[in-house]
Amino acid sequence: MKAKKKSKNITLILGGCIFAGMLLFLLVGLVGTPYDPDAMNGGLKFAAPSLSHPFGCDHFGRDVFSRVLEGTGTTFFVAAATLLLGGGIGILIGAFTGYFGGWIDEVLMRVNDAIVSFPNILLALVLISIFGPGKYNVILALGIVFIPSFARMTRSEFLSQKEMDYVKSARLMGVSHLRIIFVHILPNTIPTLLSMAAIGFNNAVLAEAGMSFLGIGVQPPDASLGRMLSEAQAYLMTAPWCAIFPGLAVILLALGVSLLGDGIQQKGGV
């Protein structure tokens, strides 16, 4: 039994270590980068990785390590803000529709179904074309796209939880609806919502990187891992480090959160 429990916790430990490493990397970037990420130096064009430039330099002689540090911070900020916006609104909608039901449930769920009927990436691209490119517009577009999935999941949890004895007892004791929703039911949905949040964070990371790769996401002077990958594709044979390190940052950031979410879900099921 202990061996089984220990094996299940490996995912949580591994995910936690990777995510902690990426957070440390992110914090280093917030404190300061070794070089100005936007500073160009023609003499260092395509300089290979060295002690002074651990990740090498790109086609403008910019330090790739400094740019990956800043780009990771940008991607993390966009993903976290998207999660707070889309997840926060979606959870509120799902909580109220699942708890109260009735015409509120019908109206909001029909709107939810209308949004879900569009492929997520297509809807995000349409919204970006309306709002225009940029960091905050990407957050707004992805946040809107994420609302339906969080609303549906939260609604499902509330529909099952509101029939539990502890909720019925709270009603008999005269506890207010808002207190039942936020104090009694919502804490019991946290394991499911954390798993959903991990999936949402990963989708936001990949979506931001994808849109920036296409040139419609985060715009200069903000560094972006996706834009770095886009710029590096023409130099894969001559300077592969320009693509390898930004790509690794995207992979590790998404992988760490994914494993962490799986580990939390497994631990909740033990």
Q: Which pLDDT value is given to residue 103?
A: 82
Mean pLDDT of 177-190: 91
Secondary-structure percent of the chain, ordered helix, strand, coil, rounded to 5: 80, 0, 20
In tens, the pLDDT along 213-222 reads: 988 888 887 8
pLDDT of 212 higher than 70 = yes
**By mean pLDDT, which of 114-118, 171-175, 241-245 is the weakest?**
114-118
Q: What per-residue string of b and e applies to 70-93 under the rule 16 or more CB within 10 Å gives b?
A: bbbbbbbbbbebbbebbbebbbbb
Name the residue with tokens 């004791």. Answer: 173
Q: Residue 50: its pLDDT value, please?
A: 93
- In the predicted model, what is the mean pLDDT of the chain? 88
Residue 245 above 80 pLDDT?
yes
DSSP code per residue over 36-85: -TT---GGGTTPPP-SSSTT-B-TT--BHHHHHHHHHHHHHHHHHHHIII
- Is residue 2's pLDDT more than 80? no
What is the pLDDT at residue 5? Answer: 52
Does 106 or 73 have the greater pLDDT score?
73
Is pLDDT at 71 greater than 60 in this prediction? yes
pLDDT at 67: 94
Summarize pLDDT for 88-145 with one digit per residue, the tens. 999 999 999 999 888 878 888 888 888 777 777 788 888 888 888 889 999 999 999 9
Q: Which of 9, 8, 56 is nearest to 35 (CA)?
A: 56
Largest Cα span, the chain: 76
d(CA 251, CA 259): 12
Of 264 and 180, more confident: 180
pLDDT at 270 over 70: no
Across the range 161-171, mean pLDDT stands at 89
Specify whether the CB–CB gap between 205 and 250 falls below 8 A.
yes
pLDDT at 268 over 80: no
Q: How far apart are CA 172 and CA 180, in angstroms?
A: 12
Report residue 84 as tokens: 């707070």
Percent of the chain with pLDDT over 70: 96
Give the predicted TM-score (pTM) of the model.
Answer: 0.88
Task: Give the burial class of 270: count Cβ atoms within 10 A of its Cβ; 0-12 exposed, 13-18 middle, 19 or more buried.
Answer: exposed
3 pLDDT more than 60: no
> Please, which pLDDT band fits residue 263 given cuts at 50, 70 and 90?
confident
Q: Is the peptide bond before 221 cis (omega within 30 degrees of 0)?
A: yes
Q: Is the pLDDT of residue 1 over 80?
A: no
Compute the distance between CA of residue 235 and CA of residue 99 in angstroms, rounded to an integer.
55
Average pLDDT value for residue range 51-55: 93
Q: pLDDT band for 262, please (50, 70, 90 cuts).
A: confident
Residues with Cβ within 8 Å of 152's Cβ and at least 6 positions away in sequence, in order, are 94, 112, 116
